[in-house]
Chains A and B, each alone.
Chain A
Amino acid sequence: MGSGHGTELNLTLKVWRQKNSKAAGSFETHQLTGISTDMSFLEMFDVLNEKLISEGKEAIAFDHDCREGICGMCSMYINGRPHGPKQGVTTCQLHMRSFKNGDTIVVEPWRSAAFPVIKDLAVDRSAFDRIIASGGYISVNTGNAQDANNILIPKTDADEAFGAAACIGCGACVAACKNSSAMLFVSAKVSQLALLPQGQVERKERVKKMVAAMDEEGFGNCTNTGACEAECPKGISLENIARMNRELMGATFK
Chain B
Amino acid sequence: MSQGFLKSSIGKKFVMGLTGLFLISFLVVHCFINCLIFFNDGGLTFNIGADFMAHNWLIRAGELVLFFGLIVHVIQALLLTLENKKARPIGYAKIDGAANSSWYSRSMGLLGTLLLMFLIIHLVHFWVKSRFTGLPGEDANGNENLYAVMQETFKMAWVVVLYALSMISLAYHLLHGFQSAFQTLGLNHKVYTPIIKKAGIAFSILIPFIFALMPILMFLGIIK
Contacts from A to B (Cβ < 8 Å): 14, 27, 77, 79-81, 85, 106, 108, 111-114, 176, 178-181, 183, 208, 211-212, 214-215, 218-227, 230-231, 238-239, 241-246, 248-249, 252-253
B9: interface (CB < 8 Å) = yes
A172 to B200, CA, bound (A): 29
A239 to B182, CA, bound (A): 11
Besides A81-B99, A180-B84, A224-B184, 8 new A-B residue pairs in contact (Cβ under 8 A), listed by A number: A80-B92, A111-B91, A178-B106, A180-B87, A208-B4, A221-B84, A227-B100, A249-B186
The answer, among A220, A227, A241, A244, for a CB contact under 8 Å with B83, is A220
A242 to B180, CA, bound (A): 10
Within 8 A of A (CB), among B1-27: 1-2, 4-5, 8-14
Interchain CB contact under 8 A, A111 and B88:
yes
Q: Hey, which chain A residues are within 8 Å of B5, CB to CB?
A: 248-249, 252-253
B112 to chain A, nearest CB (A): 11
Q: Hey, which chain A residues are within 8 Å of B183, CB to CB?
A: 224, 238, 241-242, 245
A85 to B99, CA, bound (A): 8
Interchain CB contact under 8 A, A225 and B105:
yes
| A-B contact number at CB 8 A | 139
The answer, among A77, A222, A249, A252, for a CB contact under 8 Å with B9, is A222
The answer, among B11, B94, B186, for a CB contact under 8 Å with A246, is B186
Within 8 A of A (CB), among B113-141: none
The answer, among A176, A223, A231, A252, for a CB contact under 8 Å with B84, is A223
Contacts from B to A (Cβ < 8 Å): 1-2, 4-5, 8-14, 80, 83-84, 86-97, 99-102, 105-106, 108, 176, 179-180, 183-188
A36 to chain B, nearest CB (A): 25
Interchain CB contact under 8 A, A111 and B90:
yes
Interface majority SS on A: helix, strand, loop or mixed? mixed
Q: Hey, which chain A residues are within 8 Å of B10, CB to CB?
A: 211, 222, 244-245, 248
A212 to chain B: closest residue by CB: B8
Q: Hey, which chain B residues are within 8 Å of A77, CB to CB?
A: 92
Interchain CB contact under 8 A, A80 and B95:
yes
A87 to chain B, nearest CB (A): 9
Q: Hey, which chain A residues are within 8 Å of B92, CB to CB?
A: 77, 80, 108, 111
Are A113 and B88 also in contact (CB < 8 A) when A224-B183, A225-B101 are?
yes
A27 to B102, CA, bound (A): 28
B118 to chain A, nearest CB (A): 21
Q: Hey, which chain A residues are within 8 Å of B187, CB to CB?
A: 242
A156 to B130, CA, bound (A): 57
Q: Hey, which chain B residues are within 8 Å of A212, CB to CB?
A: 4, 8
A239 to chain B: closest residue by CB: B188
The answer, among A81, A85, A112, A231, for a CB contact under 8 Å with B87, is A112
A109 to chain B, nearest CB (A): 9
Q: Hey, which chain A residues are within 8 Å of B90, CB to CB?
A: 111
A187 to B129, CA, bound (A): 49
A208 to B10, CA, bound (A): 11
A242 to chain B: closest residue by CB: B188
A252 to chain B, nearest CB (A): 4
B162 to chain A, nearest CB (A): 27
| 30 residue pairs A–B, Cβ–Cβ below 8 Å | A80-B99, A108-B93, A113-B87, A178-B101, A179-B84, A179-B87, A181-B9, A208-B4, A211-B8, A211-B10, A215-B9, A220-B9, A221-B12, A221-B80, A221-B83, A223-B13, A223-B180, A224-B180, A226-B101, A226-B105, A238-B183, A242-B183, A242-B187, A245-B13, A245-B183, A245-B185, A245-B186, A246-B186, A248-B10, A252-B5
